[in-house]
Amino acid sequence: MATDTDRVTFGVGWGLRLSASRDVELSVLAEELGLDGVWPGEHPTARFAGYEPHIVLTYIAAKTERIKLGTAAYLLPLSHPVRLAKQLMTLDHLSNGRVILGAGSGGEMPKQYADFGIDVEERGPRTNEYIQLLRALWGESPSDFHGRFFDLEQVTMEPKPVQGSIPIWICGRPGGMEMGPDGQPRRKSRTASIRRAGMYGDGWMPYYMSPESYRASVEQVRAVATEEGRDPSKLAMGLNCFMFIDDSYGAALERAYGPRSAPPIGRERVEQYDFLGTAKELVPRIEQYIDAGCRHFVCKLETTPEQVATHMEYLAKEVVPHFR
Question: Which pLDDT score is estimated for 143?
Answer: 92
For the chain, which domains are there?
A: 9-323 (3.20.20.30)
Rounded CA-CA distance 87/69 in Å is: 14
Categorize the per-residue pLDDT at 1 as very low, low, confident or very high, splitting at 50, 70 and 90: very low
Asked if the model's pLDDT at residue 219 lies above 50, the reply is yes
Question: Which pLDDT score is estimated for 4?
Answer: 42
What CA dihedral angle connects 297, 302, 307 and 313, to 10 degrees? -10
Least confident of 104-118, 200-214, 255-269: 255-269
Q: What is the mean pLDDT of the chain?
A: 91
Name the more confident of 22 and 187.
22
Task: For residue range 97-137, list pLDDT tens digits in order.
Answer: 999 999 999 888 889 999 999 999 999 999 999 999 999 99
Task: For residue range 18-58, list pLDDT tens digits in order.
Answer: 899 999 999 999 999 999 999 999 888 877 778 999 999 99
Question: Which pLDDT score is estimated for 181?
Answer: 47
- Over range 66-93, report the average pLDDT: 97
Question: Which pLDDT score is estimated for 94?
Answer: 98
pTM for the full model? 0.92
